[in-house]
Amino acid sequence: MPCFAHSPDVAAGAWIAPRLRGDFGSVGLVCPTGFEAYARVFHPVNPQTLSTERHSWAEVAASTGRVAHPGMQWARISQGWDDGEPPTGTLEESRLAVLAQAIGGDAPITLGFWIGYGHYVRSGPELALPGREYALYRGTLAALRDPDWRRASGWDTRWDETLNLAWPDDRSWFVASEIDFDSTIVGGSRALIDRVLASSLETAEVTETTDLSSLGDRINP
């Protein structure tokens, strides 16, 4: 039995689009508005050298003389940095496992994968959101705590991308890894977001209106 199986029930995501609002690049345009709090999870920097060490954004900012803050943008803090960059659109399995642990529980969940990747597409309807379409899959949150969940679901492990969307049936939280963003957004209760912020992930609290576009960093020149 796979961890996650394709679901044709796109109606399960009908609640999302009406709650996406805000200016271009804003948190609320990729993660539904209306949650009590939001966290930004920075994707770790993948090195270009043979070193397996992954750097945090704060480490890069310190190295380049920039300021680390919730709205920092990679293009602004990485000037003078030449050892890799964070991936866009995906939070790798080991970090997803930490995030799933912080969220807590074993709720049934729906995952969304951008169909533009191609390799996740299955025949059947897709969830249409502004500018994006997603293939949906069903499983449980506990499955994400196993870094091997993609292979257990029967997916080709040569692809780097993981999920783009995730939410439970009660809609109490939402995870969004927008394909053009190098960080993941989590919306949920105050208590849930506090757990995410306290995890070993590099995180920062943001709001619905935080600008994550390339021009959103107004602190670093």
DSSP 31-69: S-TT-SEEEEEEPPBBPSSS----B-HHHHHHHHT----
Q: How many domains does the chain have?
A: 1
- What pLDDT is attached to residue 54? 81
- 118 pLDDT tier (thresholds 50, 70, 90): confident
Asked if residue 31 is part of any domain, the answer here is: yes
% of the chain at pLDDT higher than 90 = 79
What does the DSSP 8-state code read for residue 86?
Answer: P
- Which domain covers residue 147, as residue numbers? 5-206
Asked if residue 213 is part of any domain, the answer here is: no
Asked if residue 57 is part of any domain, the answer here is: yes
The token pair that represents 118 in the structure block: 């191609």
* Residue 165 neighbours by CB under 8 Å, 6+ apart: 13, 16, 110, 111, 112, 113, 134, 174, 175, 176, 177
pTM of the shown model: 0.94
Do strands 183-188 and 37-42 pair parallel, antiparallel, or not at all (unpaired)? antiparallel
End-to-end CA distance of the chain: 51
152-210 tens-digit pLDDT: 887 765 567 889 999 999 999 999 999 999 999 999 999 999 999 999 999 999 999 99
Helices (H) and strands (E) in the chain, counts: 6, 9
Asked if residue 218 is part of any domain, the answer here is: no
